[in-house]
């Protein structure tokens, strides 16, 4: 899991006392994790009064030490989630928690309490970037931490190998010129006491702890010419390890060979916290086998889901925003050709009109982002790194883009955009989308028509929770048509969709080419594709 850890905030601000502060009613996903409010206080109360004794004592002591501030709020919300993840994890499972040095030391205390200290396996250091920050007064911040814990001592683990480099090849400095190639000399001493492997071989006494291999295997190595005998009997027999038989160096707990995603990376989807696919592949390969289940409770743009699918694992991805789920649907389609309901299920999205009405009542922004996903439109706004010339693709090669937060605020009457190409020139065209969750009237359609004309867009899409009136439909029809030069076909310039219609399968009538979201590259699975759940 890769929860938000607010690494862009200064450490001092994190510890500013915020007791009693209430969160904004419309709040960006997970922002409340970092503020002490009524919800945090209730979660803390439940952990102390209803949690296991060791968890109760730990979280209570940490509050006494840290205080009711942003850092403590984060730890409370994470502790509640980690308790549940520990419950759901199978005995052979492992948990990997990605964090940064701001909170890693506190999170390790939480994890030690929930998983027990003996189940701590590794603190992996991932060099995620080059030196940045103010290096005049401190060392540059270049790494994140990945804390690995197991459920029990029966955990699954597969050795992971790095690509061999020149230094690795230099270790294989011997060659008998017998056609087997270079080899290195490796010890046969057991690192731990092995009384049952204490035997003499060809006059050579056993090491203090015994041998690494049985007498039978020792004879096999000898007959195959893989033993190195010292000139005197008081020396130690060693074995030959041939370069051509090795997979490469085993990966240690410091990872410097997986670079972060650059802005121009082919797999980058425009998601602010996206991690490299290779990072998740390494983790999944190490602690699971084909057919196992991989869970990411903060799945964001779906890198864990994509890695699990590629490696033939079953998967479950969870995220709080409908925007993230929409981006993952496109990624699964682009990378693997997977379709919702046919190849995987999505739970938690509205499936009928009453549940859509409830979402609109609970959070109109989440409703807006979900509604836009029904027509495959990108919400406007989002992370600053996602800003594009005007709406999308003008003057640039068109690309699919997505963000976690979308935009809350003035939008000039436009909530989303679909970018498409429908002629040989490659020029990007735009269909502008507007979502209404309240009362609607014909004047709203006129406003969208004005926005389409003002922005020079090809088409406009009006999405409404309520049933559109006849006057609205007449207003849309009066806007005329958009003629596609590439398809030599007319499309209604303004189209109205009710949520009820979209839920029953109605689609946008527009040219086929759509590049709304930055497209994920096609991925060839390494094993049979597995079903999943979002």
Per-domain residue ranges for the chain?
11-157+274-345, 166-245, 353-503
The answer, yes or no, to whether residue 314 has pLDDT greater than 80, is yes
Q: How far is CA 366 from CA 28, 325, 341, 356, in A?
A: 10, 11, 22, 10
The tens digit of pLDDT for each residue in 231-265 reads 999 899 999 999 888 877 788 999 988 888 766 56
Q: Which H or E run includes 486? A: none
Q: How far apart are CA 234 and CA 51, in angstroms?
A: 60
**Residue range 399-415: average pLDDT?**
50
pLDDT score of 150: 97
pLDDT score of 480: 94
What are 315's strand-pairing partners?
294, 532
Q: Note the helical H segments in 421-495.
A: 442-455, 470-477
Q: How far apart are CA 109 and CA 126, in angstroms?
A: 20
pLDDT score of 259: 85
Q: Note the helical H segments in 337-419.
A: 353-362, 364-374
Q: What is the CA radius of gyration of the chain?
A: 29
The tens digit of pLDDT for each residue in 171-221 reads 898 999 999 999 999 999 999 999 999 999 999 999 999 999 999 999 999
Mean pLDDT of the chain: 82
3-class DSSP assignment, residue 255: strand
What are 145's strand-pairing partners?
99, 125
Q: How far apart are CA 301 and CA 449, in angstroms?
A: 33
Candidate from 79-93, 141-155, 269-283, 431-445 with smallest mean pLDDT: 269-283
**Residue range 78-85: average pLDDT?**
94
Fold of domain 353-503: Trna Endonuclease; Chain: A, domain 1 (3.40.1350)
Which residue would you say has higher pLDDT here, 378 or 178?
178
Kindly list the strands in the beta sheet with 143-150, ordered across the sheet, starting from the edge strand earlier in the chain. Answer: 94-99, 143-150, 120-127, 254-255
The answer, yes or no, to whether residue 502 has pLDDT greater than 50, is yes
CA 470 to chain centre: 45
CA 92 to chain centre: 22
pLDDT score of 269: 62
**Residue range 418-439: average pLDDT?**
89
What are 227's strand-pairing partners?
239
Measured from the Cβ of residue 130, the count of other Cβ atoms closer than 10 Å reads 9
Longest dimension (CA), the chain: 102
Structural class in CATH, domain 11-157+274-345: alpha beta
Q: How far is CA 233 from CA 4, 197, 216, 236, 486, in A?
A: 60, 18, 21, 8, 85
Cα angle value 268/331/412 (rounded, 5°): 75
The tens digit of pLDDT for each residue in 37-66 reads 888 899 999 999 998 999 999 999 999 999
φ and ψ of 444, to 5 deg: -65, -40
The answer, yes or no, to whether residue 294 has pLDDT greater than 50, is yes
14-23, 163-172, 316-325, 482-491, range with greatest mean pLDDT: 482-491
Look up residue 375 and give its two tokens: 């027509």
Q: Which H or E run includes 28? A: none
β-pairing verdict for 293-296 and 314-317:
parallel
First to last CA, the chain: 15
Q: How far apart are CA 461 and CA 60, in angstroms?
A: 52
The answer, yes or no, to whether residue 361 has pLDDT greater than 80, is yes
pLDDT score of 300: 82
The answer, yes or no, to whether residue 94 has pLDDT greater than 90, is yes
Given this chain, do its domains 11-157+274-345 and 353-503 carry the same CATH topology?
no
pLDDT score of 348: 85
The tens digit of pLDDT for each residue in 447-476 reads 999 999 999 999 999 999 999 999 999 999
Nearest Cα to 468, choosing from 492, 491, 436?
A: 436
Percent of the residues in the chain that have a pLDDT greater than 90, as a whole number: 50
Q: How far apart are CA 141 and CA 128, in angstroms?
A: 9
Q: How far is CA 123 from CA 98, 142, 277, 484, in A?
A: 10, 15, 20, 56
pLDDT-derived band at 321 (thresholds 50, 70, 90) equals confident
Look up residue 478 and give its two tokens: 């009066």
Crossing angle of helices 38-50/53-66, nearest 10°? 140
Task: Please answer whether residues 140 and 132 qualify as being in contact, where contact means their C-beta atoms are separated by less than 8 angstroms.
Answer: yes
The tens digit of pLDDT for each residue in 387-402 reads 222 323 333 333 333 3
6-10, 151-155, 339-343, range with greatest mean pLDDT: 151-155
Which residue would you say has higher pLDDT here, 274 or 523?
274
Q: How far is CA 230 from CA 197, 233, 238, in A?
A: 20, 7, 8
pLDDT score of 409: 43
Q: How far apart are CA 475 and CA 468, in angstroms?
A: 11
Residue 314 has what DSSP assignment? E
Region of residue 20 (left: phi > 0; alpha: psi -120 to 50; beta: else): left
pLDDT-derived band at 524 (thresholds 50, 70, 90) equals low
Candidate from 85-99, 102-116, 334-348 with smallest mean pLDDT: 334-348
């Amino acid at each position: 899991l890769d929860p938000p850890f607010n690494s862009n905030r200064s450490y001092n601000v994190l510890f500013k006392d915020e007791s009693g502060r209430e969160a904004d009613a419309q709040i960006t996903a997970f922002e409340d994790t970092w503020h002490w409010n009524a919800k945090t206080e209730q979660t803390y109360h439940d952990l102390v009064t209803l949690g296991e004794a060791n968890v109760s004592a730990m979280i209570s002591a940490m509050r006494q030490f840290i205080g009711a501030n942003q850092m403590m709020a984060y730890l409370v919300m994470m502790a509640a989630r980690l308790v549940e993840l520990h419950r759901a994890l199978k005995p052979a499972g492992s948990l990997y928690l990605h964090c940064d040095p701001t909170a890693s030391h506190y999170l390790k205390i939480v994890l030690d309490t929930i998983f027990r200290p003996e189940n701590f396996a590794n603190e992996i250091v991932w060099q995620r970037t080059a030196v940045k920050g103010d290096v005049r007064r401190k060392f540059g911040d270049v790494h994140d931490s990945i804390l690995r814990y197991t459920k029990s001592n029966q955990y699954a683990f597969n050795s992971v190998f790095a690509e061999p480099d020149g230094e690795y090849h230099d270790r294989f400095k011997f060659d008998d010129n017998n056609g087997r190639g270079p080899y290195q000399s490796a010890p046969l001493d057991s690192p731990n006491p092995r009384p049952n492997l204490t035997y003499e071989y060809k006059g050579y006494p056993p090491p203090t702890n015994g041998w690494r291999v049985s007498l039978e295997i020792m004879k096999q190595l000898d007959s195959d010419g893989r033993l190195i005998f010292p000139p005197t009997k008081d020396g130690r027999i060693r074995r030959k390890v041939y370069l051509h038989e090795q997979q490469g160096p085993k990966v240690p707990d410091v990872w410097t060979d997986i670079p972060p995603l650059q802005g121009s990376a082919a797999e980058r989807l425009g998601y602010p916290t996206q991690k490299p696919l290779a990072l998740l592949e390494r983790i999944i390969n190490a602690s699971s086998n084909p057919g196992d289940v991989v869970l990411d409770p903060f799945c964001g743009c779906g890198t864990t889901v994509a890695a699990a699918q590629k490696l033939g694992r079953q998967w479950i991805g969870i995220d709080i925003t409908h925007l993230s789920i929409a981006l993952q649907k496109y990624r699964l389609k682009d990378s693997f050709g997977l379709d919702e309901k046919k190849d995987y299920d999505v739970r938690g999205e509205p499936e009928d009109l009453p549940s859509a009405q409830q979402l609109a009542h609970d959070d109109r922004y989440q409703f807006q982002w979900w509604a836009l996903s029904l027509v495959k439109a990108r919400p406007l706004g989002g992370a600053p790194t996602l800003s594009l010339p005007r709406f999308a693709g003008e003057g640039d090669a068109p690309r699919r883009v997505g963000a976690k937060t979308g935009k809350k605020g003035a939008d000039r009457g436009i909530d989303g955009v679909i970018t498409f190409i429908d002629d040989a020139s490659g020029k990007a065209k735009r269909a502008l989308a507007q979502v209404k969750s309240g009362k609607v009237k014909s004047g709203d359609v006129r406003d969208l028509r004005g926005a389409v004309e003002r922005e020079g867009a090809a088409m406009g899409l009006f999405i409404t929770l309520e049933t559109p009136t006849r006057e609205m439909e007449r207003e849309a029809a009066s806007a005329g048509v958009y003629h596609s030069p590439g398809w030599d076909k007319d499309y209604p310039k303004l189209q109205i969709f009710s949520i009820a219609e979209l839920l029953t399968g109605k689609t946008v009538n527009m040219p086929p080419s759509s590049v709304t979201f930055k497209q994920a590259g096609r991925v060839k699975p390494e094993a049979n594709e597995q079903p999943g759940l979002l």
